Amino acid sequence: MGEKNVPTPATPGVLADPFLDRGTAFTQAERDALGLTGRLPSGVLTLEQQAERAYRQIEGQGSDWAKNVGLEQLHDRNETLYFKVLTDHLVELLPIVYDPTVGEAIEKYSHEYRRPRGAFLSIDRPEEMEKTFATFRLGPQDVDLIVCTDAEEILGIGDWGVGGIQIAVGKLAVYTAAAGIDPRRVLAVSLDVGTDRKSLLNDPLYIGNRHPRVRGADYDAFIEKYLRTASSMFPDALLHFEDFGPGNARRILEKYAGTYRIFNDDVQGTGAITLAAALSAVKVSGVPMRDQRLVVFGAGTAGVGIADQLRDAMIRDGASPEQATAQVWLIDKQGLLTRDMDDLRDYQRPYARDRAEVAGWAADGGAISLATTVREAKPTILLGTSTVHGAFTREVVEAMAEGTERPIVFPISNPTSRIEAMPADVIAWSKGKALVAVGIPVPPVEFGGVTYEIGQANNALLYPGLGLGTIVSGASRVTAGMLLAAAQAVADQVDVSTPGASLLPPVENLRQSSAITATAVVGAAVNEGVASHKPDDPGRAVRDAMWEPVYTDGPAS
C-alpha cells in the first residue's frame, strides 16, 4: 500500500469532505485553525461518543431500509465514523449495508438517490473513462481496489441498471469493515451499459442510461477499455468484478485472467467460500471429498464456479478428473443438463450428462426434475444457486436424507426472497441430519435438543481476506492457489466437533478471520511466484496494512 493521503490545509469545506470531516470531534484549536470557528456547537466529543450517538440514531430507525439510508448518509458525511459504527456492530449492520438489505437499496436507487458515490462510466461515452477516473485526483499508486459491476445479475434480483452501483459500494464497505482495506484507496464503478428492465426504462426518474443493454462487440470493447484504462491509470489496483450476467461473468474472467489482476467474486469468491463450507461438512459426514456427489440447482455463474472448485477438490483428494466430473450433476431451467441439449452454455458443457445414462430417469422422456435427480443420483451435496425461492421442498430434502447419512445442503441464493429453503426446514425435514449453510445471516435452529449454528456461505466471508492478501503481496494475478489457500484458511478456523457447530467462522470474528485468510493468501502468492512483495512475516504485514477507523492522521490542520 502506498502513502496515505495527508489531510490538506482545510477550509470550511472540510466539513463537506467525508475523509477529513470529524464534526464535533474537532477540538476548539482545530476548529480555529480550519476556519470553522463557531461553525459547530461548543461541545467536543470523542470518536467513541460520536459512534454511540450515530449507532443510536441508526438503531432508532423503523426498518432495515431506513437504517441503510441512515448509514449511507453517515458514510457520505464522515467515513471514519461510518466505519467505526459498522466495525463495532458488524453482525447487526452487515446485513443492512450489504446482503440482504442492499438489494432493496439497489431496487430503489433512482427514487431514493441523494448523492453520487463512485464512478459512473457510460457505454454511450466511452471516451470519458480516463477523464472520469482523473476527477478523483488519485495517483497511479493511490488505488488498491476497484469494484465494478454492469448490474445484469445483481444478487438473485436480476438487472437493475445504474442502481447496481450500490452493490459495488456495499462490497467495498465489507472490504473495509471486514479486512481493513483503506477506504481512501478504493473506487466503486458502475459500467452503465443500459438495462433490459422495462420498469426502469419507463420510469421518468430512472437515472441510468435509458436504453436496452448494449451487447456484442460494443459491450466487449467497453469492458476491454475499462480494463485497459483502470489498470494503466491504477496499476496496483485489484479489479473486482461483481454481479455480471451469466453470459459475461465467466467469459470476461477467462478472457482476461491471464492479463489483468482481476477477480470475479461470484465465480471465484463464491466457489472458494462454498468449498470452505464443504471442507468443514466433509469432516462431519466422514464421506471423503473424492467420493462426494454434487447436484447443482441453478447452473449459472455461481453454481458452476462452485462446481469447478468442488470438482478440483475431489481431484486433489484422489479422484481422477473423469470420475470427479462424473460426480457432478447440473440442473438449470431445462432440468438436468444433458449433452444432447442445444442451448447449453460452454461452461455447463463439461458436466452435461450422456442422455443414454439417464434415459430411465424421466418417465416421459422429458425434463428431468430436481427431485428425480436427487433420487437417482443420490448426491451427498445439494447446492442451490438458482434464485428460485422454495425450490428445495420437503420431498427433495427427504430424498437427500434417504440417499446419504449426512446430506450437505447449501441453499445459497440471495437475498432472502430467493433462498431455495430455510435452514430450519432443511434441518427438520432431514431429522437433524443435514449439514447446512446459506448465503444470508440467519439465527441458530433448535432441533431435537441440538442448537444448529448456520454458517453464512456468502463470499463476504472470504473475499475481504483474499483481497487484502492480494494487495499486501502485490500479487500480479489472483491464482487458483491463492483461492484455495483462502478457502482452506477459512475452513481451518472452524471446529466442527460439537454437534450443530457452524461450518464457517462467525461474522463476529470476521476481521480476525480475514487477517488469517489474508496471511494464507500472501503465502500462496509468494509460493506461486506472483507476489511482488514478499514480507518476512506475512501475518504482521497483513495486520500492519489494515486500516482502522480512528482519527489518527494528526490534527486535520
Ligand X SMILES: NC(=O)C1=CN([C@@H]2O[C@H](COP(=O)(O)OP(=O)(O)OC[C@H]3O[C@@H](n4cnc5c(N)ncnc54)[C@H](O)[C@@H]3O)[C@@H](O)[C@H]2O)C=CC1
300 contacts which partner out of Mg ion, ligand X, ligand PYR, none, CB within 5 to 8 A by kind?
A: ligand X
Give 311's contacts (C-beta < 8 A, 6+ positions apart).
294, 321, 324, 325, 327, 328
Quick one: the chain helix, strand, coil %, rounded to 5?
50, 10, 40
> Applying CB under 6 A, which of residues 21, 72, 79, 99 lies at the interface with ligand PYR?
99
Between 100 and 523, name the residue whose CB sits nearer to ligand X: 100
Give the shortest CB-414-to-ligand PYR separation in angstroms: 4
Which run of H or of E encompasses 523? helix 510-527
Contact yes or no for 237/189 (Cβ under 8 A) = no
Using CB under 6 A, which residues numbered 437 to 466 contact ligand X?
Answer: 439, 457-459
Contact string (CB under 6 A) for ligand X, positions 392-431, x = contact: --------------------xxx---x-------------
**Cβ at position 380, least distance to ligand PYR in Å:** 24
Q: Between 301 and 404, whose beta carbon lies closer to Mg ion?
A: 301
The angle that helices 47-59 and 64-77 make with each other, rounded to 10 degrees, is 150
**Footprint of ligand X on 247-286 (CB under 6 A):** 266, 270, 273
250-279 residues near Mg ion, rule: CB under 5 A = 266
Binding partner at 388 among ligand X, Mg ion, ligand PYR, none, C-beta below 5 to 8 Å by kind:
ligand X
Nearest approach in angstroms of CB 245 to Mg ion is: 11
Q: Check residue 459 for interaction with ligand PYR (CB under 6 A).
A: yes
Catalytic residue among 98, 206, 226, 347: 98
Among 248, 387, 430, 458, binds ligand PYR (CB under 6 A): 458
Angle at alpha carbon of residue 249, lines to 243 and 254, rounded to 5°: 145
Grid cell 450489504 — which residue? 98
Site string for ligand X, 190-229 (x = CB under 6 A): ----------------------------------------
As a whole number of angstroms, the distance between CA 278 and CA 282 comes to 6
- DSSP assignment of 252-304 equals HHHHHTTTS-EEEIIIIIHHHHHHHHHHHHHHHH---GGG--EEEES-SHHHH
- Burial of 129 from C-beta contacts in 10 A (0-12 / 13-18 / 19+): buried
Under the binding rule (CB under 6 A), the answer on residue 470 touching ligand X is no
The two beta strands, 119-122 and 450-452, are: unpaired
Q: Is 331 helix (H, G, I), strand (E, B) or coil?
A: strand
**Is residue 266 a contact point for ligand PYR (CB under 6 A)?**
yes
Q: What does the per-residue mask of binding to ligand PYR show for 166-205, with x meaning CB under 6 A?
A: ----------------------------------------
Give the separation between CA 505 and CA 391, rounded to whole angstroms: 27
Is-catalytic flag, 98? Answer: yes
Check 171, 351, 452, 463 and give the catalytic one: 171
**300 near ligand X, rule: CB under 6 A:** yes
Query: What single DSSP character describes residue 369?
Result: P
Residue 236 engages ligand PYR in binding (rule: CB under 6 A): no
Residue 386 touches ligand X, criterion: CB under 6 A: yes
Q: Find the shortest distance in angstroms from Cβ 275 to ligand X.
A: 12
Contact call for residue 308 and ligand X (CB under 6 A): no
**Contact status, residue 244 vs residue 152, Cβ threshold 8 Å:** yes
The torsion angles phi and psi of 108, rounded to 5 degrees, stand at -95, 5
Least Å distance, CB 377 to ligand X, is 16
Q: Binder to ligand X among 299, 307, 434, 466 (CB under 6 A)? A: 299
Our CA dihedral for 258, 263, 267, 272, rounded to 10 degrees, sits at: 110
**Cell numbers given for 66:** 431506513
276 binds ligand PYR (CB under 6 A): no
Which one of ligand X, ligand PYR, Mg ion, none is in contact with 279 (Cβ closer than 5 to 8 A by kind)? none
Say whether 332 sits in a helix, a strand or coil: strand
Q: Is 150 in the site for ligand X (CB under 6 A)?
A: no
Q: How far apart are CA 126 and CA 3, in angstroms?
A: 30
State the residues that interact with ligand X by CB under 6 A: 153, 155-156, 246, 266, 270, 273, 297-303, 331-333, 385-388, 412-414, 418, 439, 457-459
Which are the catalytic amino acids? 98, 171
State the residues that interact with Mg ion by CB under 5 A: 243, 266
